[in-house]
Chain A
Amino acid sequence: MTTVEERPTVLSARNLVQEFTVRGRGGIKGGVVHAVSDVSFDIAEGETLGVVGETGSGKSTLARSVMQAPRPKSGEVVLRGVNLTTCKRAQLTEARRHVQMVFQDPFGSLNPRWRVSDIVAEPLVGYGVGSGAERERRVRELLDLVGLNPDTFGRRRPHELSGGQCQRVAIARAIALDPALIVCDEAVSSLDVLIQAQVLNLFEQLRTELGLSYLFISHDLALVKQVSDRVAVMHLGQLCEVGPAEALYRAPLHPYTVALLASIPEPDPESARRRRPLAIRGEPPSPISPPSGCRFRTRCPRAETRCAEEVPVLRELAPGHSVACHFPEHDGTP
């Protein structure tokens, strides 16, 4: 971990807040969805920060706030020294080439009428990189890198590809401009396991070969552990635990992380037919009117009166391992 911490920071997010107004009947203001509430994190060069959370936890909104699409309500995002939240439009366009995104739906994120080679060349054309011949060479290089034969696949269109192949094309497009950071929003979630393993290994290969950093967002805890150096657990717009992947999974601090980990069905011979007690009951509260104090307290087995009165702040209990909880599972030294 220390080696990672010594590397220069690529992206730094400070106190990000994103809110959406929902309209009630007749277009009257119905309420404010607190999608992201005061979230801060750093990503170092060559580091992968995994973000896990359930539906509605705000993890995708967090990704979009980082990309400034749309710009967050408050807080700042600094990418390699450039403050994206305050910079001018032209500067933002220039900065965006260093951070690219890979989405969940491999078909939906590719233009169905374009050929694969045109899709991968698009960012190069958009930023005016190289001559036509140079771009053609670069596209072949990129397709090779993601494991697609340029002669076979270059002239195909998305409907002639499988889901895994589409995702490889999306990855080739994302790395075309040599970005520093790739934001993956459920990037392998719609793929079958065998293909998912291929794409995950490709992400890892690109990280070591190109020194990429990732903000890797997923609902799947096991998946996130597979690729991450550090992991942030998100619940109802807030980070409730951040820590080194190994430590967070071995000795989770937040009751919510414990509950998430206990809910995963593991394909383990010993766990077969083992009926475990339900880790969590009830429905997640509404992000329009989150509970007072700790937002997890309504479903938390450890909640006490203090949790309703006082908002827990993220505090570091072990090196790099922080939790926002008044009554964490242990004191950080298990």
Chain B
Amino acid sequence: MSIEEMAERTAIVADGGGQPLLEVEDLRVRFESRGRRVNAVNGLSYRLYEGRMLAIIGESGSGKSVSSRALMGLLPGSARISGSARFQGRQLLGLPDREMRRHRGADIAMVFQDPARSLNPTMRIGAQITEAVRAHGDVDKRAAYERAMELLQLVRLPAPERRFHEYPHQLSGGMRQRVMIAIALAADPKLLIADEATTALDVTTQAQIMELLLELQERLGMAIILISHDLGLAATYAHDVIVMYAGRAVEYAPASTLFAAVRMPYTEALLGAIPRLERPPHSPLPVTPGQPPDLTALPAGCPFEPRCPRAQDDCRTEAPPFTEHEPGHWWACYHPCEGSSS
């Protein structure tokens, strides 16, 4: 490779890798049942480049999980999905089941919160992994076994030969999650979606699993979407962060930019409410009053306005647009925070 070529490659990597791996535009998801309309995702747009880790952060009901499940075609029939989601240029939304199945696992794989419920309790670990291996490629038993062992070593499961013949209940939560990751990696996906994948684990185990994901990302060049409620996790591990509220993205920036200068009052409220080690005992936490908005009746203005300390009259009339106010830093607010470091 010539020096010019190398310089060009570096430039592309620095600006995000040219062509995005995943391009989501104006994604909307609505659930309708018994005359009630729940607006779960209301116009979400983002781009994800190869080898990046994007954290999607939000509270319960913010639409972070629903938006990712929409990409995978994993939502129930009552979901009305619109917008666009292109994976390597190909539209994912509205694909018939047969075609979706070709993407699922092979291009995009998912790891869920509860490894105990995601694994089949009556099947041995080895059988569940070889099943995943053989589902994606025409391989014989022997090759499938070897690939399965390779995957178990890749996710650093202790004593893989023994674990191969064990059942899920014989493994700890952290080990089960490693098995889930091994299954997800069976077909070499280009994108791994980790939906609260470490939430049920202890902090020490969580750190181990996160380190594993980072290592796998570097070795396999995967992109990762990390769905979580934990801003701390995003700050520590992710390249880019999207903060969601009421089905919308309200702030989006590279992690270093975001945590150096938070602009969205909601993000600031979240950061302030997290109990921090440096805070002295019994110090009152800053309080954001009220409840998250009712997704069946969203206000015309900014959905965070009723709880926002910076709200003014214009916030009530029209929802602020989500735009790039500073290079790489997007937010949806008329009266953003000053952006000094918290």
Contact A193 B270 (CB under 8 A): yes
A271 within 8 A of B: yes
Please name all residues of chain A whose beta carbon is closer than 8 Å to the beta carbon of B285 when the two chains form the complex: 197, 200-201, 226
Please name all residues of chain A whose beta carbon is closer than 8 Å to the beta carbon of B260 when the two chains form the complex: 269
A218-271 contacts to B, CB under 8 A, are: 219-223, 225-229, 245-246, 249, 259-261, 263-269, 271
> Given the complex of chains A and B, what is the CA–CA distance between A272 and B307 in angstroms?
28
**Please, what's the 1-or-0 string for B191-207, where 1 marks a CB less than 8 Å from any CB in chain A?**
00000000000111111
Of A136-144, A274-282, A304-312, which binds chain B?
Answer: A274-282
Please name all residues of chain B whose beta carbon is closer than 8 Å to the beta carbon of A265 when the two chains form the complex: 206-207, 210, 230, 232-233, 235-237
Give which listed residue, B174, B229, B259, B291, contacts A283 with CB less than 8 A.
B174
> Given the complex of chains A and B, what is the CA–CA distance between A107 and B234 in angstroms?
29
Please name all residues of chain A whose beta carbon is closer than 8 Å to the beta carbon of B169 when the two chains form the complex: none
Closest B residue to A53 by CB, please name it.
B202
Contact A283 B281 (CB under 8 A): no
A4 CB → nearest B CB, Å = 11
Contact A273 B274 (CB under 8 A): no
Contact B259 A269 (CB under 8 A): yes
Give which listed residue, A55, A204, A274, contacts B202 with CB less than 8 A.
A55
Give which listed residue, B232, B259, B288, B292, contacts A197 with CB less than 8 A.
B288
Asked if A261 meets B237 with Cβ closer than 8 Å, knowing A200-B285, A273-B256, A283-B172, the reply is no
Contact B236 A266 (CB under 8 A): yes
A82-107 contacts to B, CB under 8 A, are: none
Please name all residues of chain A whose beta carbon is closer than 8 Å to the beta carbon of B291 when the two chains form the complex: 162, 164-165, 195
> Given the complex of chains A and B, what is the CA–CA distance between A165 and B292 in angstroms?
12
Give which listed residue, B174, B275, B286, B342, contacts A225 with CB less than 8 A.
B275
Closest B residue to A286 by CB, please name it.
B172
> Given the complex of chains A and B, what is the CA–CA distance between A249 and B277 in angstroms?
8
Asked if A245 meets B235 with Cβ closer than 8 Å, knowing A194-B270, A225-B275, A279-B207, the reply is no
B47 within 8 A of A: no
B143 CB → nearest A CB, Å = 30
Please name all residues of chain A whose beta carbon is closer than 8 Å to the beta carbon of B269 when the two chains form the complex: 194
Give which listed residue, B276, B283, B289, contacts A266 with CB less than 8 A.
B276
A179-206 contacts to B, CB under 8 A, are: 192-198, 200-201, 204
A19 within 8 A of B: no
A220 CB → nearest B CB, Å = 7
A54 within 8 A of B: yes
Please name all residues of chain A whose beta carbon is closer than 8 Å to the beta carbon of B175 when the two chains form the complex: 283
> Given the complex of chains A and B, what is the CA–CA distance between A68 and B206 in angstroms?
33
Closest A residue to B272 by CB, please name it.
A197
Contact residues on B (Cβ < 8 Å of other chain), bracket: 35 or more
> Given the complex of chains A and B, what is the CA–CA distance between A221 and B292 in angstroms?
26
A286-315 contacts to B, CB under 8 A, are: none
Please name all residues of chain A whose beta carbon is closer than 8 Å to the beta carbon of B56 when the two chains form the complex: none
Asked if A220 meets B275 with Cβ closer than 8 Å, knowing A229-B281, A263-B203, A275-B214, the reply is yes
Contact B207 A278 (CB under 8 A): yes
Give which listed residue, A55, A245, A268, contacts B281 with CB less than 8 A.
A245
Give which listed residue, A198, A219, A223, A268, contacts B235 with CB less than 8 A.
A268
Contact A278 B211 (CB under 8 A): yes
> Given the complex of chains A and B, what is the CA–CA distance between A220 and B201 in angstroms?
11
Query: How many chain A residues touch the partner (CB < 8 A)?
Result: 51
Please name all residues of chain A whose beta carbon is closer than 8 Å to the beta carbon of B59 when the two chains form the complex: 192-194
Contact B255 A283 (CB under 8 A): no
Please name all residues of chain A whose beta carbon is closer than 8 Å to the beta carbon of B207 when the two chains form the complex: 263, 265, 278-280
> Given the complex of chains A and B, what is the CA–CA distance between A319 and B291 in angstroms?
43
> Given the complex of chains A and B, what is the CA–CA distance between A272 and B287 in angstroms?
25
> Given the complex of chains A and B, what is the CA–CA distance between A239 and B136 in angstroms?
49
Contact A192 B203 (CB under 8 A): no
The total of interchain contacts (Cβ-Cβ below 8 angstroms) comes to: 144
B264-308 contacts to A, CB under 8 A, are: 269-277, 279-289, 291-292, 307
B323 within 8 A of A: no
Please name all residues of chain A whose beta carbon is closer than 8 Å to the beta carbon of B275 when the two chains form the complex: 200, 220, 222-223, 225-226
Please name all residues of chain A whose beta carbon is closer than 8 Å to the beta carbon of B173 when the two chains form the complex: 55
**Most B CB atoms within 10 A — which of A220, A266, A271?**
A266
Give which listed residue, B270, B281, B307, contacts A227 with CB less than 8 A.
B281
Contact A226 B341 (CB under 8 A): no
Contact B229 A273 (CB under 8 A): no
B120 within 8 A of A: no
Please name all residues of chain B whose beta carbon is closer than 8 Å to the beta carbon of A196 when the two chains form the complex: 273
Contact A268 B259 (CB under 8 A): yes
**Most A CB atoms within 10 A — which of B229, B234, B259?**
B259
Contact A201 B211 (CB under 8 A): no
Asked if A267 meets B231 with Cβ closer than 8 Å, knowing A225-B281, A245-B281, A281-B208, the reply is yes
**Most A CB atoms within 10 A — which of B203, B280, B342?**
B203
A33 CB → nearest B CB, Å = 15
Please name all residues of chain A whose beta carbon is closer than 8 Å to the beta carbon of B205 when the two chains form the complex: 54
Closest B residue to A268 by CB, please name it.
B235
> Given the complex of chains A and B, what is the CA–CA distance between A273 and B342 in angstroms?
17
Contact B235 A271 (CB under 8 A): yes
B91 within 8 A of A: no
Closest A residue to B262 by CB, please name it.
A269
B60 within 8 A of A: yes
Contact B287 A263 (CB under 8 A): no
B192 CB → nearest A CB, Å = 19
Contact A222 B236 (CB under 8 A): no
> Given the complex of chains A and B, what is the CA–CA distance between A272 and B233 in angstroms?
9
A-B contact pairs, 30 of them (CB 8 A): A163-B60, A192-B59, A193-B59, A194-B273, A197-B285, A201-B287, A219-B203, A222-B277, A225-B275, A226-B285, A229-B281, A246-B280, A263-B207, A265-B233, A265-B237, A266-B232, A266-B277, A267-B232, A267-B271, A267-B276, A269-B259, A269-B341, A271-B235, A272-B255, A273-B237, A273-B255, A273-B256, A278-B208, A279-B207, A282-B158
The 9 closest A-B pairs by CB, nearest first: A197-B273, A265-B232, A192-B59, A265-B236, A226-B275, A269-B259, A54-B202, A197-B285, A263-B203
Q: Which residues of A contact B (CB under 8 A)?
A: 54-55, 162-165, 192-198, 200-201, 204, 219-223, 225-229, 245-246, 249, 259-261, 263-269, 271-275, 278-284
